[in-house]
Amino acid sequence: RKEVEQDPGPFNVPEGATVAFNCTYSNSASQSFFWYRQDCRKEPKLLMSVYSSGNEDGRFTAQLNRASQYISLLIRDSKLSDSATYLCVVSLNAGKSTFGDGTTLTVKP
């Protein structure tokens, strides 16, 4: 079993749609959780950290359920520019991170 598993995707949605990505992790000792965005042939960029209390940044909402070892990312009112691969990242200790395989999102006009 992979340490970090994500929805396989791809997700193809129309502009304005709401889309949710899920991620599960296997190591209960994991401490930090993130969603990264990666555009084609570019480096990953931090989208947002994920906290137990849930956090929101504009159209993006991330949630963490430690009991179920589950992380989610919700994107509301999708824009064309949201098209990218979204990576779920889990860190066991300071800095060392395990990446999920990513979920590809394509937002269409």
Partner 1 sequence: GAVVSQHPSRVICKSGTSVKIECRSLDFQATTMFWYRQFPKQSLMLMATSNEGSKATYEQGVEKDKFLINHASLTLSTLTVTSAHPEDSSFYICSASGERGGSNEQYFGPGTRLTVT
| Contact call for residues 103 and 10 (beta carbons, < 8 A) | yes
Which two structure tokens, joined as six digits, stand for 9? 């995707």
| Contact call for residues 6 and 26 (beta carbons, < 8 A) | no
- Measured from the CB atom, the residue of 67 and 94 that comes closer to partner 1 is 94
Q: By CB under 8 A, tell whether 101 contacts partner 1.
A: yes
| Contact call for residues 88 and 23 (beta carbons, < 8 A) | yes
Out of 44, 62, 64, 86, name the contact with partner 1 by CB under 8 A: 44
Distance between CA atoms of 64 and 68, rounded to whole angstroms? 9
Q: Which stretch binds partner 1 (CB under 8 A): 10-18, 21-29, 62-70, 96-104?
A: 96-104
Subset of 64-93 contacting partner 1 (CB under 8 A): 87, 91
Q: By CB under 8 A, tell whether 43 contacts partner 1.
A: yes
CA distance readout (Å), 64 to 52, 56, 94 = 5, 12, 19
Subset of 22-41 contacting partner 1 (CB under 8 A): 41
Q: By CB under 8 A, tell whether 45 contacts partner 1.
A: yes
Positions in the binding site for partner 1 (CB under 8 A): 41-46, 87, 91, 94-102
